[in-house]
Structure 1
Amino acid sequence: MSHNDRRLHREAALVAGRPAPHIPPRRVEAHRIKDDGEAIAVARELAREFAIGAAERDRERRLPIAEIERFSQSGLWAITVPKAYGGAGVSSVTLAEVTAIISAADSSIGQIPQNHYYMVEALRLAGSEEQKAHLFGRILDGDRLGNAFTEISTKTPVDFKTSFRERDGKLLLNGQKFYSTGSLFAHIVVAVAKDEHDRVHLVFIDRATPGLDLVDDWSSFGQRSTGSGTVTFDDVEITPFQIVDHDGVFERPTPMGPFAQIIHSAVQVGIARGALAETISYVRAHARPFFELSIEYGYEDPHTIHAVGDVSIRVHAADALLARAGRLLDTATENPTGDTVAAASIAVAEVKALGTEVAQLAATKLIELGGARSTLESHGLDRFWRNARTHSLHDPVRWKYHHIGNYYLNGSLPPRHGAI
């Protein structure tokens, strides 16, 4: 894509959206979480705050700028930084639970740091010691990483035209990204780009770097406030110190793939939890009994009771699968072999499949059991289904079932990439 083409694309994006919000450089160091227990406690506290206003933010498509600042300043965005570099180095079980807790309150906020955690893990696996010391230090202090991964003008979501080349003694990055979740809130934008040999790398770029532009043009009907819009790189000057090899983390057995996916799985489980909790609250407060029944309250309806019981069982099953996947991912992290990574990938695929199904079921039952008044825009209860459906499209769940079945039936190990 030429300079002029990128300019035209950016102008079109601005017509469809809004300029990116101003995110000033961080001036205050974030709190440093010490261990897994503190991470869970802080997540629960924040979830109570984030639940307030979640429906309004969704309705107005308002970016949660203050909430994300609160989130990262709490220390939760640094909990996967290894202990050797000053972080809490929490378990995958804890990371998944933190994500589910936040997502139950507001799934857009729960999804936003997914790519931040992904890039931290890639840095752990492939970064040099100098890169780790520098970037982990910034992350511990509260800097946020944003995603510039997927493109919409290529054959598949994992084909990339964005690239960097040497020209006139400078290393220049060019390209355009979409679905850039987290970048609008980021201090450092991480671009996925190819070198001259078509090898894929991660490039860590400070937000204020000349030639880097962000546009808030995300218009999906769900996950409305993730800010997953357009990022353009127009002759962005970079250095080798900013570049981390990405292909290498999938050329050998590493936990990179299941690590990426367990966070997405936890978002779905969180939506299911949130929808179930909202169902119980709404039915108890507002649902009226069916006129054929001689009961006083809607929550006494035997069919409603049965439906809530059914959804509760399925949500609890998804909870159990999420914790199990986290334990197997921790095993793969400690001892990454072909078998341990495959076992973790399949376990994560199982919870992603069930969690996606249960989130949509719980969201549907919320409206069904709540009755006609539950569809009023003022309640905002439709956001659970819209969010679950939108987020589920991150990668096709139908392929989860294929890889799971092939693993158990034929002993075939799943492929190593970020979508399984």
Structure 2
Amino acid sequence: MKIVVLGGGESGFGAAYLAKEKGFEVFLSDRGIIKPEYKKLLQENNIDFEEENHNEEKILAADWIVKSPGIPKKADIVFKIKQKGIRLSSEIEFASEFTNAKIIAITGSNGKTTTASLIYHILKNDGFNVGLGGNIGKSFAKMVAEGNHEFYVLEVSSFQLDDIQNFRPMISMLLNLSKDHLDQYNYNYEEYALAKFRIAENQENDNFFIYNKDDEMSENLLQKLAIKAKMLPFSLKEKVKEGAYATENKIFVKLQQEFSMNVEELSLVGNHNIANSLAASIAGKILNISDQSIRNSLMTFQAVEHRLEEVAEISGVKYINDSKATNVNAAYYALESMKNPTVWIVGGVDKGNEYAEIEQLVHKKVKAIVCMGIDNQKIIDFFKDKKDLIYSTSSMEEAVQVAETVAEKGDTVLLSPCCASFDLFQNYEDRGNQFKNEVKKLINI
């Protein structure tokens, strides 16, 4: 069988590596430049590849094509593949065909990385043989090729779910929905939401689907969709008979028996993280993990990098890195969890943001807005009559310097950009790391 992999990053190399391990004829094609570390791995594993080109003759001769999630589904080569009727899969689909391990798959507009990492922490703490991968930055396919894990916890994006055929997790999870990546879904919110719901489309009645009962779009679509898996809701607003919910002071998980613990014992702060903890706890109880073990894991989990990560406190000012907040909903969660007057660093590549969703929170929590990007006009235009202190900057160095000048003792400087990073940075990690480096420079002034 001839396998062609499109894209030469973490996902692409992983798929090519697994295909090679399985004895298939493999060719990897990337229209861009492949990073040196992946090029080296391809050469070391004798995997045929090309870069800065798509050899259509070679690609369209494939029996099965694996597409990296970064390649737009509207790309010309994708259109030609579909025209020819060649099977086109995401890396998670491809890898899942070669493992009998139980899969716990997490999707949603926000909180995927935190919740996937938390579930991995819960399972690992309880002695499970478990791997963590997917959209979180570690190739699922490479782990399947190298390991013999009995469980995989996968963070899954809508782009990965666009290209599944048989992918069937034991436990699937849809944390929330908000308007994100709409440019890839014809600016149609329901089309994007339905892509997320594909996580459950192949599940049977012996599987589980965990969902957010407070999410309006999820509730609406559940009226239309025929999901076969056992559905288990979580809620911050109401009690549920089976699933999980929170009151002001406690969380409750109800599956056969009831497990509860105090909210103040959770290591993660903010309502969004209470929701993430509820979802993760349901998964733990499905797998018969003890109450004490789940409680211990929820108390000891450390927040993921670039997600409400406290960097430093300098002269009484806290600096928090939330670079992973690439949409309005994520920034909403960050602002909601702020306890002190906040200097908010925001901006980047706008993905169709509607800032009205956070207008009240900004009014209540934010003392100054520091815009950071090549084009800050949309943010400035929306907030100029609502906030007196708005600054425009075009680099991380400038943004942090302005924020440091404006912030007073007792304030918080929050990087929660609300936007994609590609105008000034390689990715959200690069943006977060630059923020941390600039903050650390302030310590040495």
* TM-score bin, normalised by smaller chain: under 0.3
- The structure richer in strand per residue is 2
- The structure richer in helix per residue is 1
State the TM-score, normalized to the length of structure 1. Answer: 0.27
State the TM-score, normalized to the length of structure 2. Answer: 0.26
**Which protein has greater RCO, CA pairs closer than 8 Å, 6+ apart?**
1
